[in-house]
Amino acid sequence: MTAAQLPPGARVYFPRGSALDVLRCKADEWMLDGPAGTGKSRVCLEKLNALAEKYPGCRLAIVRKFRAAITETALVTFEQHVKPRCDTANQQRRVRQSYQYPNGSEIVVAGIDNPVKLMSAEFDAIYVQEATELSLNDWEFLSTRLRNGVVPYQQLFGDCNPGPPSHWLKKRMDAGLTLRILSRHEDNPRLFTSRGELTPFGTSYLARLDKLTGPRRDRLRNGKWAAAEGMVYDAWRDDLHLIDPFTVPPEWRRFVVIDFGFTNPFVCQWWALDGDGRMYRYRELYRTRRTVRDHAAQIRALTGSEHIEAWVCDHDAEDRATLEQELGIRTIAADKAVSRGIQGVNDRLVPADDGRPRLFLFKGALVERDPLLVDEETGLSDRPTCTEEEIDGYVWAKGANGETLKEHPVKENDHGQDGLRYAARYADGFGKVAPITRTTTRPRSVA
């Protein structure tokens, strides 16, 4: 039957290349690895749907690090393209818990951040979207849930864009513990015809990827597990410094760091200090094209009753005055010395004698992704959208002969890095602590 002969409402999917390999794969653990836009998520969801229809009563799962991230990614693809006539019981995607099939099969939707549905459950196959977000412990935990036995082969699989070469997932694939299936742009029918010719959408999409620079281009355009050359923070490791969030104890010190911006991002970072002086960024705003007054209203709501001992800001006098007036606080000027700030951050990134670094960023700390930084059609951004996305591209400038100048970082996409430096200098004692009173520790509420 050709596409023209299909009944109304029927879906069309013609897998090729790595997509065919995925649908045929029976390995117990595999990863679809490749650049952005190759159709990785689509074929992984097609695989789940095929299993659900072929094996009545099987239990499958769609998993991501944070459940909220699945709503506008995997679930949109699944409902609009993979199984458009599935029974959704009038539920909104953000609260969807599972998809039920007439034959008794079920696809559960869950996040590692709230693993209740996973802890005592049994599955035949688990699909992890954006697997680089997970820790090795997360991955190994999911592998213990594969014990339902309805499908004759139990599988843990996922998709990912490449990350840094030091990532545990690359090491696992290199060691042969996880089968790697390489995905290419040519495998996606939206980008290339069956004759290997670019489609109009493929032309515009790849042109956007071609605009990326540094390690983001290497990873998202070329599919390479690459680190930036001349990284300022060469001690940075995603698997060490990006940690799962937890409830910050009320007795820990807290302070806020702000780097003003309008055309460039306005960055507000909430930091906590534990009893040993380790820093934790637990919340972040990273937005463009909004006024300080608009930011102040959101900062007030997010901070709530938290006791903030200091508001550390860059030196824009007008913006500082507006923020102080809107929040009813006093701010202090950040120590903006670049070299000293970088040294302070690097010192904290290096593990101490106890094996732990002294600076951490919570995963998922970004309050909301700035829609103005993201292409509406592709979902991609050619600029960072939070502090951690800046780090790989925060590199030393080069001299006329191409030599690295370890004095001046490239002044581009560094607004979260400014905040990191201000925060490290403040935490190390290079800042005047505002008196801890109700006026200075809590933003003034507006009646």
Q: Which fold has domain 3-210?
A: Rossmann fold (3.40.50)
Sign of CA dihedral 137, 139, 143, 144: positive
Comparing C-alpha atoms, which of 364, 441, 386 is closest to residue 266? 386
Map 320-380 to HEC letters.
HHHHHHHHCCCCEECCCCHHHHHHHHHHHHCCCCCCCCCEEEECCCECCCCHHHCCCCCCC
Residue 438 has pLDDT above 50, yes or no: no
Report residue 174 as tokens. Answer: 């290199």
Q: Hey, is 271 helix, strand or coil?
A: strand
This prediction has a pTM of 0.73
CB 267 within 8 A of CB 415: yes
Which residue intervals of the chain bear CATH 3.30.420.280? 238-441
Residue positions counted in the chain: 447
Weakest mean pLDDT among 259-268, 364-373, 377-386? 377-386
In this structure, the strands spanning 98-100 and 396-398 are unpaired
Q: Hey, is 8 helix, strand or coil?
A: coil
pLDDT digits (tens, 9 = 90+) for 87-133: 666 677 888 889 999 999 999 999 998 887 788 899 999 999 999 99
Class at the top of the CATH hierarchy for domain 238-441: alpha beta
pLDDT digits (tens, 9 = 90+) for 218-277: 999 999 998 878 899 989 988 899 999 999 999 999 999 999 999 999 999 999 999 999
Q: What is the DSSP letter of 81?
A: I
pLDDT at 13: 86
Report the Cα 446 to chain-centroid distance in Å: 34
Report residue 173 as tokens. Answer: 């694939």
Report residue 140 as tokens. Answer: 């190994």
CB 52 within 8 A of CB 100: no
CB 361 within 8 A of CB 243: yes
pLDDT at 381: 78
Instruction: State the angle between helix axes of 317-327 and 292-303 in degrees (0 to 180), rounded to the nearest 10.
Output: 40
Which residue intervals of the chain bear CATH 3.40.50.300? 3-210
pLDDT at 435: 40
- Integer Cα distance of 421 and 400 in angstroms: 27
